[in-house]
Amino acid sequence: MHQTPNISAENTADPTAEDPAALHSSVEDRDPQDLTEQEQVAQAARDIAEVPAVEVITAAAVNLLSAAAVKCGLADDPETQTDLDEARKLINALAGLITAGAPEISDSHARPLRDGLRSVQLAFREASPIPDAPGSGPGEKYTGPVI
C-alpha cells in the first residue's frame, strides 16, 4: 500500500520559522523591501536592541525639543507653525523626560538637553500673549521657574 506524503501547512512553512538563527542570517542578506512583515519586525527589534539607552533617551528628547521649538515659533514660518497649546504639551513631556532621564544618561548628555529645554521654555514665555506666572509655565513643575 502506497502512502502519500503529508503535505500540510506545517510541513511547507518557511524553513526559517523554526530556526531563529536561520531567520536572522537570511534576513540580513536580503533587500529590506523583500522581507515579510514578521521579518521586518524581527529585524527592527534586533536593531533597537543594539542601541544604547542613552542614545534612545537623547533621540527622544531631541525630537521633543525640535517639535517644541517649531510650535513656539522658532522655525522658518512662525506665522503658520506656532501653536502654543501643542508647544506646552511638548515642553511638559520634554521636561519630564529630561528630569527622569538625566541621572541615567550622565551630565555630559543631560546638560545640552537642559539648555535646549530652557531655551524653548523662554521662547514659549516670549511667544505667549499672556505669560504664565513664574513656576507655572510649561515644564516648570519639573525644572522650577524659568524667567
Consecutive sets of 10 residues in the chain, 147 residues long: mean pLDDT of each? Answer: 50 50 55 79 87 94 98 91 97 98 93 97 96 95 93
- Structural contact between residues 120 and 75, judged by C-beta atoms closer than 8 angstroms: no
- Half-sphere exposure at residue 84, Cβ-oriented, CA atoms within 13 angstroms: 14
The domain limits of the chain are 20-49, 56-143
| pTM beyond 0.75, yes or no | no
Residue 15: the pLDDT is 47
Q: Which position has the grid cell 527589534?
A: 45
Cell of 106: 550622565
Residue 11: the pLDDT is 46
Q: Strand, coil or helix: what is 53?
A: helix
Residue 43: the pLDDT is 84
Planar angle of CA 139, 94, 44, nearest 5 degrees: 160
Residue 18: the pLDDT is 55
